[in-house]
Structure 1
């Protein structure tokens, strides 16, 4: 069942109350939006009862955590949670902790060294999740709502609840297996749900964000603004506790060693519009672990990234018939280190044919003074045979910049945007549809949104 994960939107309405003056010593917080700074403002603990009027109190642990001592919540499990009591480092609605180094751009040299850890205790009853909330914004924002990506990491969940959106995959990260969920609420929400519950986690921030970027849900140009850990209770919640929490650069454990070079790729199953690649696995000895592979493609002299995989195979779709392509593979680890590129395989697609054709429609979901969200953009196969890939093109108005896209990949050339399917949504039977969406900025006062979409 879905829930509306919008606690920070509502929290913005109460930002003055919540963060006006966090106390340095407040052992018990019962105010809906009460907060306390601990360890000389290294972290801030927040009660944050944003989704209910029922009582909640938390006992702040000055050593780096808190315990929910009272929680009378009884929210419907098909709606929003009652609260997000949590501890955080960074900047949240103009309240910044000391010494976090945040906001930090995800392309910065120090980003790969960022780590966090948490230890939690769960009661025997209640409906809740135990989760991290990592926020990213296209700008180094210290106040207001982030509009890039919300990266959630669910260590545990109890009851009939699930993340925003729908499950889009499964991945092995940080020594565990996670379901990957994606939705959009005006910003991308990417949730990693551990398939077996855990009471603790110690991880590199980049381990999860690298996967977000590889799926097209985040950008390296975006900034990490805060790292939060806590709970979203729907029913009950008394006894939930963060026993300890840490965030920092990881000191001397920074991984600077790249993975080994992947084996040379081979191609199979080539059609007029697609081909399947396979290659030998890389290894990583730097400590952060192998995170996946980037697929590089060229039709001329320049190789560009066209997709990624967490396995040793990848199906590239949306290709042109009777065209020669060259491919290389590059491995990446959890710290963002890249291996040398593999050798090259050359593939020529078959001659085209068949009755496949596609149509596209686009909806403006939200627009504001200097930006907008287009969602859904629906691609439909109007032909009589299956499509094995599609590409949508449209002109981007002058001064506009795409800041994020989901369920697709894209390139921009000369003011024209070309959007292509990912591996999971390129095959469309007759009358079948799929969707994608994107977010963009525009000059202040400019009211244009893209038009003139075409599909091939």
Structure 2
């Protein structure tokens, strides 16, 4: 009996180690977890563009004021110029038109560390002319463009410069398949954002032909990694709400 136990232990020692995933951490391509009114996604939608890499997201949970904290660790190599993922938090909302949205107050305190990071930190909003239809517009608000990351653009040049939420932004326009994409890119990093996202959507309605009858389908906040190693993106505090 003793020899059998010794043999079994020897077999365990020889086996390849399995990575232990801490509580609250998830690493699968489409894994997600909820935290209060938010769903946090790992979202490795572009992982096949990488030569190698991995990513895990950690849900640190809802805080007493209803905000959330979460983080993501990633390494992606190869596939220059291609986004590998969009780990993000999406707040639960009613699907109403931009004209019915009175405000989208949000606050976001974040940090980023790592080596050779090419990535953004960005809000991502989608709209459509119908509640369940494919997205027709994507509105991105880049709080940071690390390592030379750049937005989707028709010609690489901004179409406007605008002052919103106390920050100067370059506005870019481009197409992603059927979607028209507008990207506001901050001229310097905004590590602690506090503002009304409706100011950005209202600007597009008033100045760039977006219809106020477009239905807001989702409001997300996260990071799009292109390349880098040992990256850690930490959201210390995040809150967003859509008011009508």
User: What TM-score comes out, normalization by structure 1 length?
Assistant: 0.43
Whichever structure has more helix as a proportion of its residues is: 2
- Match of 1:196, SS? coil
1:153 corresponds to which of 141, 148, 165:
141
Alignment of 1:258-273 (within 5 A): none
Give the CA deviation at 1:189.
Answer: 0.3
1:212 corresponds to which of 204, 212, 231:
204
Whichever structure has more strand as a proportion of its residues is: 2
Asked whether 1:137 is paired with 2:128, we answer: yes
Q: Which residue of 2 aligns with 1:73?
A: 76
CA distance in 1, matches of 2:139, 2:181: 6
CA distance in 1, matches of 2:78, 2:172: 22
Alignment of 1:300-319 (within 5 A): none
Is contact 1:52-1:75 (8 Å) kept?
no
Larger Rg computed on CA atoms: 1
Give the number of the structure with larger relative contact order, counting CA–CA contacts within 8 Å between residues 6 or more apart: 2
Q: Which residue of 2 aligns with 1:238?
A: 231
Q: Which residue of 2 aligns with 1:104?
A: 96
Give the CA deviation at 1:215.
Answer: 3.0
Q: Which residue of 2 aligns with 1:173?
A: 164
Give the CA deviation at 1:49.
Answer: 0.7
CA distance in 2, matches of 1:35, 1:45: 5
Is contact 2:114-2:231 (8 Å) kept?
no
* CA RMSD, Structure 1 to Structure 2 (Å): 1.9
Q: Deviations over 1:320-361 (max 9, x none)?
A: xxxxxxxxxxxxxxxxxxxxxxxxxxxxxxxxxxxxxxxxxx
Alignment of 1:306-385 (within 5 A): none
CA distance in 2, matches of 1:76, 1:87: 25
Unaligned runs of 5+ in 1: 1-25, 90-96, 255-456
Unaligned runs of 5+ in 2: 1-22, 63-67
Give the CA deviation at 1:176.
Answer: 0.6
User: What TM-score comes out, normalization by structure 2 length?
Assistant: 0.79
CA distance in 2, matches of 1:121, 1:36: 21
Is contact 1:136-1:223 (8 Å) kept?
yes
Give the CA deviation at 1:224.
Answer: 0.9
